[in-house]
Chain A
Amino acid sequence: MLRNILIRLLQAVLVLLGAALLVFIMLRIIPGNPAAVLMGEHADTAVIEKMTKELGLDQPVHVQLIHYLAGALRGDFGTSYSLGKPVSQLMASAFSNTLILALMASAFAWLVGIISGIIAAVKKNSILDHLFMGVSLLGVSMPVFMAAMVLQFFFSYKLKIFPIAGTQSFAGFILPAVALGWNSAGSVARLVRSTLLEILEEDYIDTARAKGRRQMGVLILHAMRNAMLPVITMMAIQLSGMLSGAVLTETIFSINGIGRLAVQAITGRDIPLLQGTVLFSAALVILGNFLADSLYHVLDPRIRKEA
């Protein structure tokens, strides 16, 4: 099993390297001199030329690539053009916000998704089932930015329960987390429902049902354990979706996170910052997938035997 995990780790590293290369290639094709943006509208050509040299933008591409890869290995992504600080430092402070946001959103998604999934499965075809499934499909179909906008409007602007923006208090994270988790909650609920239904449709359930409600609960618990595997895999897949959604929620709620940094990097044509944030998100996804895969191996006895 250890060997298996090691191979996976090696693969993950290779993919990460490929991702780094891809980001570099994509961002080198872009026309426009970042130095000109950096120096502002009042700068004249001589000043811009000097800055171009200072940033190493006049060097051949392969030299720039080597610098970039070597830097990335050390966790050094250069200095942000638009914010004037080391990219790694900016990402470190932004990451904590994104992490809190993603964790809270996941917690929301799990809690709401699993509970409503179980209820929907147990009360199959009842009004509750239809309601939950309808809402969950709505969640999957609702653009994250719409959810965020509407939540912000009602709970912050109208009801004044939460702050409009910022993360100076914990309360500032709640609405963005709900907006972000809403989508995943829908998918989790649908998955839990269909997995449970498959099990609950078996005829021996009737026996359990006849024996009393307590056993029914135990059964659901047991069934849930089996349903957990696909849910874990799904959460790993959704990590990527969450990082995508974070771009929008962080922008709308003005949270200094990785997603908003990426948006700022684009508007500010800040290549080092864009490189850093995109690569960092990719690394997170790769890590998430690797962990989920490994966990799967540890949890699922069948796969373990095969290995």
Chain B
Amino acid sequence: MKLPNRSRQIAEEFEKRQQEQENKQQESKQQANREYLKNQIAEEETFFTLIRRLARENKLAVVSFFVILLIILGAVLAPILAPYSFSDMDLLHRLNPPGAQHLLGTDEAGRDILTRLLYGARVSLLTGVVPTVMSMVIGAILGVISGSYGGWLDALIMRLADIMLAFPSMLLAMVIMYMLGDGLINVFLTLALVNWASVARIVRAQALQLKKTEYVEAARVIGVSRTKIMFRHLLPNCLPTLIVLFTLNVPSAILTESSLSFLGLGLQPPAASWGLMVNAGRQYLYMAPWVSLVPGAAIMVCVLAFNFLGDGLRDVLDPHLRK
């Protein structure tokens, strides 16, 4: 692309600036290395100072945090809060609009939607958290092994990750779900299997970076064993990244579960899952919109809250991942 003369000047200036910026970055990297060393000695940031920093920098994240807390509370207290049982059918009052008796109306089988929403929160939160933790553990361990050992083990793990990442996640999840059959545990396993590869990749990259720091090199020179370096030094230093990844992967797991349930591949009725409820209510959208819009909105609010919180945490914990 050829730019006119005057603008080329600006462009050149721009490139110069960029060069300078790169140099600056180089410097700041070394700075970061030194900080790492310092951090090891200095007292670790406590949970509360972190929250305080978060509260100062990102109000939305705090609001989201409380929204999530509210959802967790609703899910945990579902048996107490819920006015009905989640499978109780009242066949004579199907698709009732929201009202005094049923605050959010009833669904196609005459079940109370508010009740099912609360119980559905359990499923959504569990499918958000459990498989994400599973995939993070698998991914972190494989990633750190891959990064610190290198060689054929690294190649093997990374090619395996490549293969997993080659599948569109939804299709891979569908096949695994199909293989395992439906049920909550199988949803967990499926999501964990689908998500570990990207975690492994990121952790590996971080481990490679950390390996080059003076601090780890020093540890190696002293003769600290590789396993010890891996679990004592590399993995803990990946923790901020992992926390950020966690907040990013939770909403995506919730979305995948709801999509699977929507397609009829996840949980089966009368179990309450938000995706399932949206799907069941889809055919009544034009006559009883609350049946599918209420759980749909719940999914959105929950995912949105996790995304905001993730954004906020990322800014605080890991400026490198800012993009």
| B171 part of interface (Cβ distance < 8 Å) | yes
| A78 part of interface (Cβ distance < 8 Å) | no
How far does the Cβ of A12 sit from chain B's closest Cβ, in whole Å?
A: 9
The answer on a CB contact under 8 Å between B299 and A202 is no
The answer on a CB contact under 8 Å between A247 and B175 is no
Which positions 14-54 of chain A face chain B at CB distance < 8 Å? 14-16, 18-19, 22-23, 26-27, 29-30
Q: Which of A85-93, A119-127, A236-244 contacts B (4 or more CB under 8 A)?
A: A236-244
The answer on a CB contact under 8 Å between A251 and B159 is no
Q: How far is the CA of A259 from the CA of B282 in the complex (A)?
A: 20
**Number of B residues with CB within 8 Å of any CB on chain A:** 51
Q: Which of A65-73, A170-178, A277-285 contacts B (4 or more CB under 8 A)?
A: A277-285
Task: List residues of chain B with CB within 8 A of the CB of A22.
Answer: 163
Cross-chain contact of A247 among B14, B163, B170 (Cβ < 8 A): B170
Task: List residues of chain B with CB within 8 A of the CB of A242.
Answer: 168
Task: List residues of chain B with CB within 8 A of the CB of A278.
Answer: 167, 171-172, 174-175
Cross-chain contact of A285 among B160, B168, B292, B308 (Cβ < 8 A): B168
Fill in one digit per residue for A255-284: 1 if any B CB lies within 8 Å of its CB, else 0. 000010011001100000010011001100
Fill in one digit per residue for A134-155: 1 if any B CB lies within 8 Å of its CB, else 0. 0001101111111001000100
| B11 part of interface (Cβ distance < 8 Å) | yes
Cross-chain contact of B179 among A15, A26, A191, A247 (Cβ < 8 A): A26
Q: Which of A55-63, A110-118, A217-225 contacts B (4 or more CB under 8 A)?
A: A217-225
When A and B form their complex, what is the total count of cross-chain residue pairs whose Cβ atoms lie within 8 Å? 150
The answer on a CB contact under 8 Å between A240 and B169 is yes
- Residues of B contacting A: mostly: helix
CB nearest to B296 among chain A residues: A146
The answer on a CB contact under 8 Å between B14 and A204 is yes
Given contacts A19-B163, A138-B300, contact A143 B259 (CB under 8 A): yes
CB nearest to A288 among chain B residues: B166
| A96 part of interface (Cβ distance < 8 Å) | no
The answer on a CB contact under 8 Å between B1 and A282 is no
CB nearest to A222 among chain B residues: B11
Which positions 296-311 of chain B face chain A at CB distance < 8 Å? 296, 299-300, 303-304, 307-308
The answer on a CB contact under 8 Å between B278 and A285 is no
Task: List residues of chain B with CB within 8 A of the CB of A199.
Answer: 14
Fill in one digit per residue for B275-296: 1 if any A CB lies within 8 Å of its CB, else 0. 1001100100110000010001
Task: List residues of chain A with CB within 8 A of the CB of B251.
Answer: 141
Interface residues of B (CB under 8 A from A): 1, 3-4, 6-7, 10-11, 13-14, 17, 159-160, 162-163, 165-172, 174-176, 178-179, 251, 255, 258-259, 262-265, 275, 278-279, 282, 285-286, 292, 296, 299-300, 303-304, 307-308, 322-323
12 A-B contact pairs sorted by A residue (CB < 8 Å): A23-B175, A30-B179, A143-B262, A146-B300, A208-B10, A222-B3, A223-B14, A241-B168, A243-B171, A248-B263, A285-B167, A289-B166
